[in-house]
Amino acid sequence: MPSLDDDHPGTRIREQRRLARLTQRALAARTPFSYSLLNQVECGARPATADFVAAIAQALKIDVTTLTGQPYLTELQRDRLAELVRPIREALDLYDLGTNPDLTVRPAAVLVAEADRLCEKVRATHLRSAARMLPGVIAELTHAAWSTPSTPLWRALSSTYRTAHDVAVKLGYYDLSTVALDRMAWAAERASDPCLSAVRQYMRALVYFREGEYVIGQRLIASGHSIVGQAATTRESLVVTGQLHLGGSVICARARNEAAVNRHIGEARDIAERTRDASDVHWLSFGPANVRLHTMSAAVEMNQFDEALKQARAMRLPASMAVSRRTHFLIEWARAEMETGHTERALKHLMEARRTAPEQTRYHPGTRETIRGLVHLSRHTPETLGHMASWVGM
């Protein structure tokens, strides 16, 4: 049987369980999962899925990142990405300092365009480039918004905070992502933009989704609907409403509420038929294709892997689909293939994800757990799989 290193969620679960002075049976009793599965995850015979890790973290009253080991600092340092995080953290701290007389600031129109350019870079998974640009743009927009306040400037500043959240999440800095979302709310309030505020609630809901707090996640989705309901009915507000429904669908799927999943997907599908492809609105990738992707994601979250696989194999993504969204789909597809015993196809999709967006794939926790599962399903580890495991730091 092939083996990997001992630094994986299973060993961390065992350590935290022992610190809490719980037996495996006692911990399993606090979750929806069986003692047998917990035993297998702790010894490394089964991968720790995102919903399993979230349930264990909630039962132990610890952060999910304590169990996943994020951020993956060794790999970040090797890729020289960790050094880009501190300037972002410092830039987020400038929000209430007003103007900076020592700063040379570009014209407002240029800064607004730069905020959009940053969103575009993240969707294209150019994380290094976005992380490098971000602190300077935040500093300039902070100065400009304080010196000559206007809705476009506050909106652009809110957008850069949203980009900081996106970068932090993709690199595994969840504490930083929470700070960024707080700043996003602060700027969106000054922009008097209910759509931006609703987008922020959508992102907050996904933070709680990762932590296994599904009730809070659903409340945040409901709050987002209430906020966007204050806006006039426009294409923008319809898109934000539709994206809130998509977020609600995966949260309800993780909570095993299939009726609510179907309701959210149905509402999102109806809106997408009206808006068609709306990837230009708040960079949300909303449209019929994204509805199909979330339908498949919901099936994965409910462990309906045969159904998810059927949908994935029939999926035809438009060329305009954001690289980040396409890569997430490939990682989920790989998991569905692995869970149904199609190991070669699972590895193929992970390799395609790596070619498509190497940084995103390398730091995605789903990549690691699918690789771990493939290793344990293989009698002899194929050379390609060994290379993938080494590449992600396993």
**Domains parsed from the chain with CATH numbers:** 1-69 (1.10.260.40), 72-190 (no CATH), 193-318 (no CATH), 322-394 (no CATH)
- The pLDDT of residue 79: 82
CA pair distance 181, 174, nearest whole angstrom: 11
**Of 46, 53, 49, 40, nearest in space to 13 by CA:** 53
CA pair distance 95, 108, nearest whole angstrom: 17
- The pLDDT of residue 8: 84
pLDDT in single tens digits along all 394 residues of the chain: 344 556 788 999 999 999 999 999 999 999 999 999 999 999 888 888 888 999 999 999 998 989 988 888 888 888 888 899 999 999 999 999 999 999 999 999 999 999 999 999 999 999 999 999 999 999 999 999 999 999 999 999 999 999 999 999 999 999 999 999 999 999 999 999 999 999 999 999 999 998 889 999 999 999 999 999 999 999 999 999 999 999 999 999 999 999 999 999 999 999 999 999 999 899 999 999 999 999 999 999 999 999 999 999 999 999 999 999 999 999 999 999 999 999 999 999 999 999 999 999 999 999 999 998 998 887 777 889 989 999 988 7
Concatenate the DSSP letters of all residues of 131-169 into one string: HHHHHHHHHHHHHHHHHS--HHHHHHHHHHHHHHHHHHH
CA pair distance 62, 17, nearest whole angstrom: 11
CB 377 within 8 Å of CB 46: no
Peptide bond before 71: cis, by omega within 30 degrees of 0? yes
Q: What share of the chain is helix, strand, coil (3-state, %, to 5)?
A: 75, 0, 25
- The pLDDT of residue 6: 67
The pair of structure tokens assigned to 205 is 């809901």
- The pLDDT of residue 393: 86
CA pair distance 323, 244, nearest whole angstrom: 21
- The pLDDT of residue 2: 44
- The pLDDT of residue 5: 59
The pair of structure tokens assigned to 314 is 């029939």
Amino acid sitting at position 109: A
The pair of structure tokens assigned to 10 is 């299973």
CB neighbour class for 277 (10 Å; exposed up to 12, middle 13-18, buried from 19):
middle
CA pair distance 170, 178, nearest whole angstrom: 13
CA pair distance 168, 127, nearest whole angstrom: 10
The pair of structure tokens assigned to 28 is 């399993």
